[in-house]
Structure 1
Amino acid sequence: MWVEITALNQIPESDIFKMKVEGISLIFNRQGMNVTCYRNACSHLEYPIDMGKVNSGIITCPFHKYQFQLDTGKCLNASADSLESYPVKVEGDRVFVDID
């Protein structure tokens, strides 16, 4: 089920945008026109990752310092621990996420 999230320009470049959709806490990242979406939970211990520091396209979990690439969700500390991603599409200036 595709859900409209926000306008593209409301998702900051080089940072994250947090939103709850259908009861699921999500984070969005934008690099140019490319938008990614992940569940707001570090794959290490499931703690919220939205308070983590973003630097050069990498978010660092504030609790255990695991680092994740925001363009792919891949964990730099343990390759098997990627962030849980959700499909995103951009239509015009609107951003949608598929939460199924």
Structure 2
Amino acid sequence: MEKKRILIIDDDTRNIFALTATLKAKAFDCVSCLSAEEALQLLKGDEKVDAILIDMMMPDMDGYEAIPLIKNINHRSGTPVISVTAQAMVGDREKCLDAGADDYISKPI
């Protein structure tokens, strides 16, 4: 059986390392991007991606801006996007879901 492939989008390599280690221990394959712009380029291609974990607080383009752009890529519109954020304030989950995320996870994972 083919492993599910998760795209991790985060500007902090420590977070990418931690998420990758956790997911690989659960038999997932991982690919990562250090920016939303890099991820959008990857997602416009034919790279296999079964789900996306995206940090909501990144420089240049944050997750709130990137999620609608990801969802507008025709062949990615059904790909689950899960927002990952250190902010666990009241209303943050709703804000992530309003941006188009399919689910929300707060750090640390």
Tell me the TM-score normalised to structure 1 length: 0.28
Higher relative contact order (CA 8 A, sep 6+): 1
Higher helix share: 2
Tell me the TM-score normalised to structure 2 length: 0.26
Higher strand share: 1
